């Protein structure tokens, strides 16, 4: 998988001054567009679209300083419809406009070319199972929240704190399917997975029971799921589980992620410093 991802990086590099079709990148990577975007974001720490934009503006910046073409020619070459649009994007990345950079010979920001490599660090083996499941429902309360990559998500914290304890107890009694108990469910994420984009967050249970009045139902169709478990200090254990799934498990196994809700069940220790966590992700077998 990593070799194919590196082939997509080489394709991007050769076509920075052309239209780059994500469907073509997915074909080179021999996976789906959805999984390519997800894997890239996990491995690179930024969305695929953001990497392409930053690489284009890095190369364009070098051409601005080289003074061999007009600013408008450079703007058009790298996909900007006007000099003004190019100037806004250029300033957002480099901190100065292209005209000012050319006039002053300013120092610019550079986005290095990426290469993905697998590093074996000797961490403990990941515990997982792959399960084919019939359709089920997530029943609970929903909020639209921003995506936060690192650290606490204050919008989710505030939302959960606002739920009455009696409501949580009523929901917990409905839990009759795995993963058991109250779960956190993320759905309808932006394909770019860029920080600040919004998603639907559900605080509820996985159940076959009818939804009580005042709750929201998320129907989930039948499909294959990979369930990962871990335990350790909070929040490091959960954060490391997410990292390891996408940097180690997917590149080493014949599965790819598919669209669908992502389910996390966490059980805290009495002092709230340790947790047992179970992460369920929708997957499908790679083709070929």
261 and 135, same structural domain?
yes
**272 located within any domain:** yes
92 and 146, same structural domain?
no
Averaged pLDDT, 104-127: 76
230 and 188, same structural domain?
yes
Confidence of residue 21 (pLDDT cuts 50, 70, 90): very high
Residue 150 pLDDT more than 80?
no
| Residue 253: predicted pLDDT | 87
178 and 73, same structural domain?
no
* Helix/strand/coil for 227: strand
**121 located within any domain:** no
| Residue 122: predicted pLDDT | 46
76 and 23, same structural domain?
yes
| Residue 1: predicted pLDDT | 74
**100 located within any domain:** yes
| Residue 234: predicted pLDDT | 82
135 and 70, same structural domain?
no
Number of domains in the chain: 2
**187 located within any domain:** yes
Cα four-point dihedral sign 39, 30, 23, 201: negative
| Residue 45: predicted pLDDT | 84
136 and 100, same structural domain?
no
Model confidence over 225-273: pLDDT tens digits? 999 999 888 878 887 888 889 888 888 889 999 999 999 999 989 998 8
184 and 41, same structural domain?
no
**Burial class of 94 by CB neighbour count within 10 A (0 to 12, 13 to 18, 19+):** buried
165 and 89, same structural domain?
no
| Cα gap 157→140, rounded to integer Å | 16
142 and 86, same structural domain?
no
Assessment of whether the complete model's pTM goes beyond 0.75: yes
Range of the domain at 19: 2-104
Last residue of a domain, one of 53, 73, 104: 104
Backbone angles phi, psi at 120, to 5 degrees: -90, 115
Residue that wins the pLDDT comparison between 239 and 206: 206
Confidence of residue 127 (pLDDT cuts 50, 70, 90): confident
* Helix/strand/coil for 125: coil
Residue that wins the pLDDT comparison between 62 and 127: 62
Residue 120 pLDDT more than 60?
no
**CATH code assigned at 227:** 3.20.80.10
191 and 132, same structural domain?
yes
**223 located within any domain:** yes
Model confidence over 155-185: pLDDT tens digits? 999 999 999 999 999 999 999 999 999 999 9
Report how far apart the first and last C-alpha atoms of the chain are (Å, whole number): 13
Averaged pLDDT, 78-88: 95
| Residue 152: predicted pLDDT | 80
84 and 150, same structural domain?
no
């Amino acid at each position: 998988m990593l070799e194919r991802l590196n082939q997509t990086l080489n394709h991007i590099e050769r076509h920075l001054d052309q239209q780059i079709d994500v469907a073509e990148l997915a074909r080179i990577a021999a996976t789906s567009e959805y999984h390519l975007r997800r894997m890239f974001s996990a491995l690179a720490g930024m969305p695929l679209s953001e990497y392409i934009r930053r690489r284009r503006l890095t190369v364009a910046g070098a051409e601005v300083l080289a003074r061999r073409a007009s600013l408008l020619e450079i703007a058009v070459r790298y996909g900007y419809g006007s000099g003004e649009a190019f100037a806004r994007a250029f300033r957002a990345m480099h901190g100065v406009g292209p005209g000012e950079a050319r006039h002053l010979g300013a120092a610019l920001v550079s986005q290095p070319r990426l290469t993905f490599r697998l590093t074996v660090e000797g961490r403990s083996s990941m515990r997982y199972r792959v399960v084919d499941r019939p359709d089920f429902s997530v029943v609970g309360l929903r909020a639209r929240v921003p995506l936060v990559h690192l650290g606490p998500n204050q919008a989710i914290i505030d939302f959960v704190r606002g739920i009455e304890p009696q409501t949580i107890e009523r929901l917990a009694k409905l839990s009759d399917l795995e993963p058991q108990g109250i779960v956190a469910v993320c759905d309808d994420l932006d394909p770019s997975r860029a920080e600040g984009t919004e998603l639907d967050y559900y605080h509820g249970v996985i159940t076959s029971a009818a939804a009580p009045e005042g709750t929201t139902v998320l129907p989930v169709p039948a499909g294959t799921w990979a369930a990962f478990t871990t335990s350790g200090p909070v929040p490091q254990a959960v954060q490391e589980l997410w990292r390891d799934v996408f940097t180690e498990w997917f590149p080493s196994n014949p599965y790819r992620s598919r669209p669908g809700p992502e389910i996390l069940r966490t059980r805290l220790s009495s002092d709230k410093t340790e947790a047992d966590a179970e992460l369920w992700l929708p997957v499908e077998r790679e083709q070929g």
